[in-house]
């Protein structure tokens, strides 16, 4: 096997794995957004549940379509979709969990337990 062909196979394999990881992140963000009550988004001072469902849903659709059409999911739209999902998971999800736990419930003198 020629060295250039081997490098092409390895590169396309790496891109496929990165695309699958991106799709998993997008699916996780969308599924997590589905399970929270709309009132928690207001209590956490985040945008509405409808906004986040639309954003993560579009991100999931972009990720799925790019993989189904043979792309790697790492183009301009793919990166925007992963970014939107990561913002939800890193910023909104912890705020929703905090708002859902009632704030300072289960906090002892040395922190949460």
34-76 pLDDT, tens per residue? 999 999 999 999 999 999 999 999 999 999 999 888 876 678 9
Question: What pLDDT, on a 0 to 100 scale, did the predictor assign at position 7?
Answer: 92
How many structural domains does the chain have? 1
The residue range of the domain holding 72 is 21-102
Establish if 112 belongs to a structural domain: no
Question: What pLDDT, on a 0 to 100 scale, did the predictor assign at position 107?
Answer: 58
Question: What pLDDT, on a 0 to 100 scale, did the predictor assign at position 2?
Answer: 83
- Band of pLDDT at residue 102, cut at 50, 70 and 90: low
Please state, in angstroms and rounded to a whole number, the distance separating the CA atoms of residues 41 and 92.
Answer: 8
User: At residue 110, does pLDDT exceed 80?
Assistant: no
Please report, for residues 33, 48, 58, 64, the alpha-carbon distance to residue 36 in angstroms, rounded to integers and kept in the order given.
Answer: 6, 11, 18, 23
Establish if 90 belongs to a structural domain: yes
């Amino acid at each position: 096997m020629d060295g250039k062909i081997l490098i092409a196979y390895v590169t396309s394999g790496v891109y496929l794995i990165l695309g699958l990881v991106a799709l998993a992140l997008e699916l996780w963000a969308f599924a997590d957004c589905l399970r929270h009550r709309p009132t928690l988004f207001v209590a956490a001072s985040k945008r509405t549940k409808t906004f986040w469902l639309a954003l993560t849903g579009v991100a999931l659709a972009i990720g799925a379509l790019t993989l189904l059409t043979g792309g790697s999911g790492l183009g301009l739209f793919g990166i925007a979709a992963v970014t939107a999902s990561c913002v939800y998971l890193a910023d909104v999800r912890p705020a929703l969990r905090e708002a859902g736990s009632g704030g300072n419930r289960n906090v002892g003198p040395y922190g949460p337990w």
